[in-house]
């Protein structure tokens, strides 16, 4: 008999708890509905009031509306994104750190690979000392030594000496072209790696016409 009474009491308790929960849910729904109607009845949405207050504070501090400040922030962020992707975006590019400058158009990477710049030729410093060779080597060192560079492949992977053939970029600088345009290298493209051949020829003409680098000394 006591077991039956106990079950009866449990069922009674569960029913009471369920009724109480239903009442709480109903009251909450009524409260939320009333709150929404109250907000809608206001002459201006509180969120709009907060936004306008923020605008007035920003305008007071900066002299510019909040919307214009946000536009400037978005524009700056977009500029940074563009700068970050200024190098060629394709599957033929990799990045590596330069650990050694061999001469004006050849470098060594942290993985031990030697890279020969495509499409250009600087005066020699190995085996013989060509005029302006040291200057070209020092310029190359200034541009890339110890830095992480972007390496772009054209068609060929390596030359006959096993050196990687690459176009090299550091930040916004196209290193191969910069060396030619500033008079530290000649344009010297060899098929099939001629993607930037026209650019190099134009840069060489510019350097020659303006007597830059090796074009301005008595090397030639």
141: annotated active-site residue: no
Of 66, 101, 89, 113, nearest to 169 by C-alpha is 89
The token duo for 155 is 């068609």
What lies within 8 Å, CB to CB, of 98 at 6+ separation is 107, 108, 109, 110, 144, 145, 146, 147, 148, 149
Which of 116, 135, 182, 204 is an active site residue? Answer: 116
Query: Running DSSP on this structure, what letter comes out for residue 213?
Result: G
User: C-alpha dihedral over 6, 10, 15, 16, to 10 degrees?
Assistant: 100
Cα distance between residue 98 and residue 108, in whole Å: 6
163: annotated active-site residue: yes
Which of 124, 141, 201, 202 is an active site residue? Answer: 124
Which of 55, 138, 141, 163 is an active site residue? Answer: 163
Mind telling me the catalytic residues? 116, 124, 163
């Amino acid at each position: 008999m006591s077991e039956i009474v106990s079950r009866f009491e449990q069922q009674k308790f569960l029913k009471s708890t369920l009724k109480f929960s239903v009442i709480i849910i109903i009251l909450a729904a009524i409260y939320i509905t009333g709150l929404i109607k109250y907000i809608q009845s206001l002459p201006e949405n509180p969120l709009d009031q907060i936004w306008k207050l923020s605008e007035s504070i920003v305008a007071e501090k900066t002299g510019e509306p909040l919307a214009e400040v946000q536009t400037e922030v978005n524009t700056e962020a977009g500029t940074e994104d563009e700068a970050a992707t200024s190098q060629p975006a394709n599957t033929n590019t990799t990045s590596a750190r330069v650990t050694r400058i061999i001469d004006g158009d050849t470098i060594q990477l942290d993985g031990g690979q030697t890279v020969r710049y495509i499409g250009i030729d600087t005066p020699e410093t190995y085996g013989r000392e060509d005029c302006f060779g040291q200057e070209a080597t020092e310029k190359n060192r200034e541009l890339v030594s110890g830095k992480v560079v972007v390496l772009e492949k054209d068609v060929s992977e390596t030359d006959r000496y096993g050196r990687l053939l690459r176009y090299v970029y550091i930040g916004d600088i196209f290193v191969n072209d910069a060396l030619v345009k500033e008079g530290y290298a000649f344009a010297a493209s060899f098929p099939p790696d001629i993607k930037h051949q026209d650019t190099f020829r134009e840069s060489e003409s510019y350097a020659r016409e303006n007597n830059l680098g090796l074009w301005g000394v008595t090397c030639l």
